[in-house]
Amino acid sequence: MKLIFLGPPGAGKGTQADKVCGYHGIAHISTGEMLRGEIREGTELGMEAKDYIEKGELVPDEVIIGMVEHRIHAQDCAKGFLLDGFPRTVAQADAFQHISDIDMVINIDVPAARLIDRIGGRRMCSGCGVGYHTSTYAGNTCERCGAKLFIRDDDKPETVKNRILVYERLTQPLIAYYEKMGKLQTVNGDETPAEVTADILALTEKLV
């Protein structure tokens, strides 16, 4: 099963991807998390990506495309994968057409006015990178690995505003792109996390 999640920053893509990947036994590929991993490890790619991420800009297409092309051939993608945060531009989507087919693109739709609030409550584990939200978890440490939770630099309000603008300008056109291809499904992301998961699974179960 090969899936893509579309949606603005704060739509809940990461949270939903964890659930859906666990259910179907497919790999969760978060390009944002891969880049943050590269930054933590101090790699050349990480150093290149850091400035873009901190400003809320996109990392250049060629860097991301190469990274994803390599990642989808890993062993854990044998049963399929879910791309969370890729593609983010039409150029990335065009390139991916030559790399792999795709079964379904799920757009998690959340009204723009809700995004800033939702991102304000986000916390991330400094050890394993798993995400939390203050509305559902009040702790300061990760339930999985015990490491401290922190607020991502690019979740600070100044950067979030730019990330939303970048999303509207460069990523939102992908909704029409995949609709034209007959691959697009939309779920209402402004429900409880469990309701959104149920809506997504109702769509993906048809692919099994």
What b/e string do you get for 183-194 counting C-beta neighbours within 10 Å, with b at 16 or more?
bbbbbebeeeee
Nearer to ligand AMP by C-beta: 71 or 183?
71
Answer yes or no: 114 catalytic.
Answer: no
Answer yes or no: 122 catalytic.
Answer: yes
- Length of the chain equals 208
35 binds ligand AMP (CB under 6 A): yes
Site string for ligand AMP, 15-34 (x = CB under 6 A): ----------------xx--
By the 10 Å C-beta count (0-12 exposed, 13-18 middle, 19+ buried), 74 is classed as exposed
Interface stretch with ligand AMP, choices 21-29, 49-57, 100-108, 196-204 (CB under 6 A):
49-57
Calpha distance 10→12 (Å, rounded)? 5
Interface stretch with ligand AMP, choices 86-94, 117-125, 183-191, 196-204 (CB under 6 A):
86-94
86 binds ligand AMP (CB under 6 A): yes
Contact between 84 and 30 under an 8 Å Cβ cutoff? The reply is: yes
Answer yes or no: 2 catalytic.
Answer: no
- Give the CA distances from residue 155 to residues 2, 33, 190, in Å, rounded to whole numbers and listed in that order: 28, 14, 19
Answer yes or no: 163 catalytic.
Answer: yes
Calpha distance 27→152 (Å, rounded)? 23
Residues that bind ligand AMP (CB under 6 A): 9, 31-32, 35, 52-53, 56-59, 64, 85-86, 88, 92, 154, 163
- Write out the catalytic residue numbers: 13, 88, 122, 152, 163
